[in-house]
Copies of this chain bind each other. A is one copy, B any other.
């Protein structure tokens, strides 16, 4: 008789505080963060995780908690987990780690989540110049479905996924990260990409000991101090996977990650019940506490065999994944086009970021005609299963991006129609909760940065 079911290797107790959990979290990437658990190749195991803000954001009608959140602490990761083969030999640098996501979801008894935009000063979001203040929508999870009291008339099946999943970087990889990010953060002003400097969002999040957690490394020790100022922040996705925020990395997917430290040291966190491509509102998925049930495979020597060198360095590291067989099925989509001409009318050269921004703004404007506020639609497009495509990237000077929205998530017909007044009954159901005051000292219209913003 065989064993079955997933072995729980990292449990989370929601009644305890972040720092009281049995398996200490880490919120940085560093090769020397010690593994807290070990799993065998092909073993099914379960990891539990807290939401990206570690319980800071409450299930209520106020965005105050979001307003005063910051990015120093975020992404409380469960792990690292050391992976060994059936003979107990650890994954080695150069191997490829296949990680199959057999199951995942919210933690039992805790079936809710939230979508938020940070305040402009606190990290902002993709459209921070249009939506500078903190907002929040609560979502309740009913099995595969989610609905929000703050965005009535919408309900959809989720496509849960870990926002963050990655292996530990080697010191070599970590140094590359820190150098290139320091470059953009420090030299933005004098560099060839002036536009970015003027943009009102931080250019990069560099290592800092502020709110740094390094798992089993005791805070305040010399070791912690040294590592804290080296360890990479978790905000961006990088070559080790990390905060890739890929909405289709869902049930049944298998991601192939590079192994660059002994044991692979797999970590995960930032569980999402659902997310739209781009995660545009930044804290933008349906963020939740959750679990993963995983199986690992070690492909010996697979990095060189399968992955691509990352650039001037010969490291083969860019992750690859297979999409799983179970995704919500939608047959009807309404699609919005955006080209790389910004809101001020300025032409950008094949800039997919600007094009996608315009597609999103067009969609928000369109949907707000159906009885919603723009803030509601911004949050919705950030977390519903919408698809963001790079449709054309060669027809200079215009990049063309599209945003496709499954029409079935609305309880009204949102398609253009002859003789139909689009403003529907949702008008009366606009909740006040999302209203907030922007505390920044520059309104968007007078901000020179905004006018030429990305």
List the B residue with the shortest CB-CB distance to A401.
B390
A3 CB to closest chain B CB, in angstroms?
9
Residues of B within 8 A of A194 (CB): 192-194
Cβ–Cβ contact B299 & A102, under 8 A: no
Residues of B within 8 A of A342 (CB): 311
A278 in the interface, Cβ–Cβ < 8 Å?
A: yes
Whole-angstrom CA separation of A315 from B143 in the bound complex = 34
Residues of B within 8 A of A6 (CB): 111, 142-143
List the B residue with the shortest CB-CB distance to A298.
B418
Cβ–Cβ contact A422 & B305, under 8 A: yes
Please state the number of chain copies in the assembly: 4
Cβ–Cβ contact B320 & A366, under 8 A: yes
Cβ–Cβ contact B393 & A361, under 8 A: no
A435 CB to closest chain B CB, in angstroms?
18
Q: Which of B311, B345, B402, B415 contacts A343 (CB 8 A)?
A: B311
B-contacting residues, A369-400, CB 8 Å? 369, 387-400
Binding-face segment, A17-25, A326-334, A424-432: A326-334
Residues of B within 8 A of A4 (CB): 59, 111-112, 140-141
A184 in the interface, Cβ–Cβ < 8 Å?
A: yes
Cβ–Cβ contact B308 & A361, under 8 A: yes
Category for how many chain A residues contact B: 35 or more
List the B residue with the shortest CB-CB distance to A234.
B395
Whole-angstrom CA separation of A144 from B294 in the bound complex = 11
Cβ–Cβ contact A349 & B393, under 8 A: no
Q: Mark A275-314, 1 if CB is under 8 A from B, else 0.
A: 0011111101000000001010111101001111111110
Residues of B within 8 A of A400 (CB): 236-237, 244-246
Cβ–Cβ contact B398 & A237, under 8 A: yes
A248 in the interface, Cβ–Cβ < 8 Å?
A: yes
Q: Mark A85-128, 1 if CB is under 8 A from B, else 0.
A: 00000000000101001111000111110000000000001100
| Interface core residue of A157, A198, A349, A356 (most chain B CB under 10 Å) | A349
Cβ–Cβ contact A237 & B392, under 8 A: yes
A252 in the interface, Cβ–Cβ < 8 Å?
A: yes
Cβ–Cβ contact B330 & A325, under 8 A: yes
Cβ–Cβ contact A390 & B393, under 8 A: no
A129 in the interface, Cβ–Cβ < 8 Å?
A: no
Residues A326 and B326 in contact in the complex (CB < 8 Å), given A244-B391, A452-B192: yes
Q: Which of B243, B344, B389 contacts A395 (CB 8 A)?
A: B243
Residues of B within 8 A of A238 (CB): 339, 398
A408 in the interface, Cβ–Cβ < 8 Å?
A: yes
Residues of B within 8 A of A103 (CB): 142-144
| Interface core residue of A188, A203, A350, A390 (most chain B CB under 10 Å) | A390
Q: Which of B2, B279, B398, B401 contacts A392 (CB 8 A)?
A: B279
Cβ–Cβ contact B236 & A395, under 8 A: yes
Residues of B within 8 A of A404 (CB): 248, 323
A47 in the interface, Cβ–Cβ < 8 Å?
A: no
Cβ–Cβ contact A302 & B237, under 8 A: no
Residues of B within 8 A of A352 (CB): 351-353, 356, 390, 401
Q: Which of B237, B277, B331, B348 contacts A408 (CB 8 A)?
A: B331
Q: Which of B235, B246, B281 contacts A337 (CB 8 A)?
A: B246
Q: Which of B188, B323, B346, B415 contacts A333 (CB 8 A)?
A: B323
Binding-face segment, A29-37, A175-183, A220-228, A436-444: A175-183
Residues of B within 8 A of A60 (CB): 1
Cβ–Cβ contact A350 & B349, under 8 A: no
Query: Top 10 nearest A-B pairs by Cβ distance?
Result: A103-B143, A102-B143, A236-B398, A352-B352, A331-B331, A192-B194, A180-B347, A245-B392, A388-B390, A308-B365
A157-B252, A281-B394, A326-B329 known; 4 new pairs, CB 8 Å cut-off, are: A1-B59, A144-B325, A236-B400, A308-B361
A-B contact pairs, 16 of them (CB 8 A): A4-B141, A126-B393, A144-B251, A192-B193, A237-B339, A243-B392, A277-B390, A297-B418, A302-B416, A305-B416, A321-B335, A322-B333, A325-B329, A326-B327, A331-B332, A389-B389
